[in-house]
Chain A
Amino acid sequence: MDNHQHHESFVKKYIFSQDHKIIGIQYGITSLLFLLFGFYLVTVMRWQLAYPMEAFPLERFVYPLLGIGVILLFIRGLKIGIHSVVGVSLILLAGVSWYVATRDENMPNRIMLPEFYNQLGAMHGTIMVFLGVVPLAVGAFGNYIVPLQIGAPDMAFPKLNMSSYWCFFVGGVTMLVSFFVPGGAANSGWTSYPPLSDIATTGQTLWLLGMVFLITSSLLGSVNFIITIVQLRAKGLSFMRLPFFVWTQFVTSFLLLLAFPPLEAAGILQLMDRVAGTSFFLPSGLVVSGDPLPANIGGGTPLLWQHLFWFLAHPEVYVLILPALGIVAEVIANNTRKPLWGYKSLVYATIFLGFMSFIVWAHHMFMTGMGSTINAFFQITTMIISIPSIVILSAMFLSLYGGSIRINTPMLFALAFLPMFGIGGLTGLPLGLSTSDIHLHDTYYVIGHFHYVVAPGTIFALFAGIYYWYPKLTKRKMNEALGKIHFWGSFVAMNVIFFPMLIQGLAGVSRRLYDGGQTYAHAQSVLYLNEVMSIGAWSLAFFQMFFIVNLFLSIKKGKEVDDNPWEATTLDWAATTSPPLAHGNFAQVPEVYRGPYEYSVPGSDKDFIPQHQQ
């Protein structure tokens, strides 16, 4: 490695860094900003749903962003740091949203057009999944934590790691730029179903290009993770001694490696359809706005896209949830001060889950007219895949039993994750059976279901992870009081948003209604819930401010702690300083002598024995 580390330039050290820790932080900051942006889009949408066709109070949405941006910029004089990067991004975001929202093609007289609503919807989904949650869970947490937990000096390929971050960055910027092209951003839903997406405005082309970059980034990242975990584990750290978080990242990487390429292929085909005039996804005899398409167009099949898309997108669901399960497992084991219940069954369930996730995808396609044989096949596999999920969740619940639980902010988020993910999982079962899916398909029920999995599920787990590993990065804890306000506020708000969706969905309200269902007969009895959900969403935004303030304030003002404040057993806490050494992480090459969760071992003088203790 570099012997001249003290002379590294700013650019090499902080921007084009090859250190997994810096790259992890870059991923973290970028993806948190994207999460905020994706959430911001939906708060705007919720105005239209709660008060259809009423003038949009732009100032109320832009000023808070601007305010926080300015505060962050000046929080430490004019010193340059992460806070100023985020501050500038927020001010930019405020400016951009002002510009976009005041354009006549989006909101004439501040009244939202359906086209703009569709852009917001499509980009909310895309940004949250591909630019927010996955990069945060895998790019940030995986990058920062995995090498530390396995006792490695860095990722196996540091240059590749850097390029995967920059691919992600370019992909993200491409997505953002698409708001400014004629016709605006992609507006065919995050699933980009053809034939609609084939004939959509230019934004869709940028969406596809952005996806190609994001997929490339994921592929490079997953190769790196797999090699790192297989080859770079410390001496004595056998697979069955790996912290569960590393296991989840390992399985996740395989999902990314093998499931993403088919979407890349599909993306290339759709790009050809849009740019070169092919018709892979355009059936014959299509009539657009009253005009039949030219004779040479046609012969393709929209179902092909759906197959290739869901071949990725179903495993992607597990990409979203597995790292979250890993984080929750770490936090729970640490705060119950006892070993995880059924470590081996957790590991095997995870592997099985990963494998099965490749053969369930067509349960998203029950309504496409598949015959009963194939339908039966996918229903059976879908029911089978719920078994390992239940195994994992049960093991985590059982881990709580008999523990002397420490209630702190990370633990609160981890504990809330369990029932929320449970609701998300159980509401999925009726969607996996084609009979009940006929009623529920494409209703708000589906939206409620997967948001329960991803929002109070995965995102809560990610918050738990941020509060838990924060002292590793800064040697300070985040403020507990602010953390608890953040937790309870978010917990209540999330349920206020998502539970009514299940009710609306059962009533039959379709998920893509621009007016919130005002002109929709089914929706009349549940229409009042729209305003409730919107108020929930804006309260959720309010409570995130406590998080943002806490995140930046605690860097300098947080309670100072030692290297292992949670008294954890894994190498990331026990064998390195906080933050770990700039190059190589460990002062001495660590060696591992025991399993990952040796808490409260009878006869031991402390209630935890670090993995590297002989």
Chain B
Amino acid sequence: MSVNNVKSHIKVYISIFVALMVLTVLTVFVSYLELSIGYAVTIAMIVAVIKGSLVANYFMHLISEKKVIYWVLILTLVFFVILMLLPILSTLDQVSR
């Protein structure tokens, strides 16, 4: 990466930082609106996912990362989803319910 490249990156970092701040304020603000729990969770998680992907994509440079890393992360993500979903589905499917 050349020096000029880095300089243009720094501008990106600053704007990401601003975006993260705005989103933080937004999510706190929404939490004061007394929305029903369904809406509140959806909005909070959407905002968190946006913030998380901004950090991952720009601060951690995931957006221009090598293929191997993508594969590892996709694999991890698949198992992550399995880990999240299956215990919850099993619990909902309990005979006692």
Contacts and interface: CB of A to CB of B under 8 A. Distances in A.
Contacts of B91: 301, 303
Interface stretch (B3-11, B27-35, B37-45, B80-88): B80-88
Contact of A374 (B75, B76, B90): B90
B95 interface: yes
A370 B68 CA distance: 38
B83 A362 contact: no
Interface string A337-365: 00000000000000000000011001001
Contacts, number: 40
Given A254-B75, A258-B75, A370 B93 contact: yes
Contact of B79 (A301, A358, A371): A358
Nearest to A262: B83
Contacts of A374: 86, 89-90, 93
Interface string A246-273: 0000000010001100100000000000
Contacts of A303: 87, 90-91
A311 interface: yes
Contact of A304 (B68, B82, B87): B87
Interface string A223-234: 000000010000
Contacts of B68: 230
A358 B76 contact: no
B94 interface: yes
Contacts of B82: 358-359
Interface in B54-97: 68, 75-76, 79, 82-83, 86-87, 89-91, 93-96
Contacts of B95: 369-371
A373 interface: yes
A374 B76 CA distance: 23
Nearest to A362: B90
Q: How large is the interface on A (under 10, 10 to 19, 20 to 34, 35 or more residues)?
A: 20 to 34
A308 B79 CA distance: 13
Interface in A278-303: 301, 303
Nearest to A365: B90
Interface string A155-197: 0000000000000000000000000000000000000000000
Contacts of A583: none
Contact of A370 (B79, B83, B94): B94
Nearest to A304: B87
A303 B87 CA distance: 9
A511 interface: no
A358 B68 CA distance: 21
Nearest to A358: B79
B4 to A, nearest CB: 30
A311 B86 CA distance: 10
A359 B94 contact: no
B94 A362 contact: no
B96 A369 contact: yes
B88 to A, nearest CB: 9
A301 B75 CA distance: 29
Contacts of A371: 93-95
Contacts of A362: 86, 90
Q: Which of B68, B82, B87 has the most CB of A within 10 A?
A: B87
Contacts of A358: 79, 82
A484 interface: no
A311 B83 contact: yes
Contacts of B94: 369-371
A92 to B, nearest CB: 41
A123 to B, nearest CB: 28
Contact of B87 (A258, A259, A307): A307
Interface string A499-542: 00000000000000000000000000000000000000000000
Q: Which of B76, B82, B90 has the most CB of A within 10 A?
A: B90
Contacts of B90: 303, 307, 362, 365, 370, 374
Nearest to B93: A371
A230 B90 CA distance: 37
Interface string A297-328: 00001011001100100000000000000000
B77 to A, nearest CB: 11
A374 B86 CA distance: 8
A116 to B, nearest CB: 35
A258 B79 contact: yes
Contacts of A370: 90, 93-95
Interface in A355-395: 358-359, 362, 365, 369-374
Contacts of B87: 303-304, 307-308
A307 B82 CA distance: 11
Contacts of A369: 94-96
B82 to A, nearest CB: 6
A443 to B, nearest CB: 22
A260 to B, nearest CB: 12
A574 B89 CA distance: 53
Nearest to A371: B93
A259 B83 CA distance: 10
Given A301-B91, A374-B90, 11 more contacts: A230-B68, A262-B83, A307-B86, A308-B87, A311-B83, A358-B82, A362-B86, A362-B90, A369-B95, A374-B89, A374-B93
Interface of A: 230, 254, 258-259, 262, 301, 303-304, 307-308, 311, 358-359, 362, 365, 369-374
Which 4 A-B pairs give the minimum distances between C-beta atoms?
A: A371-B93, A307-B87, A374-B93, A369-B95
27 contacts: A230-B68, A258-B76, A262-B83, A301-B91, A303-B87, A303-B90, A303-B91, A307-B86, A307-B87, A307-B90, A308-B87, A358-B79, A358-B82, A362-B86, A365-B90, A369-B94, A369-B96, A370-B90, A370-B93, A370-B94, A370-B95, A371-B93, A371-B95, A372-B93, A373-B93, A374-B86, A374-B89
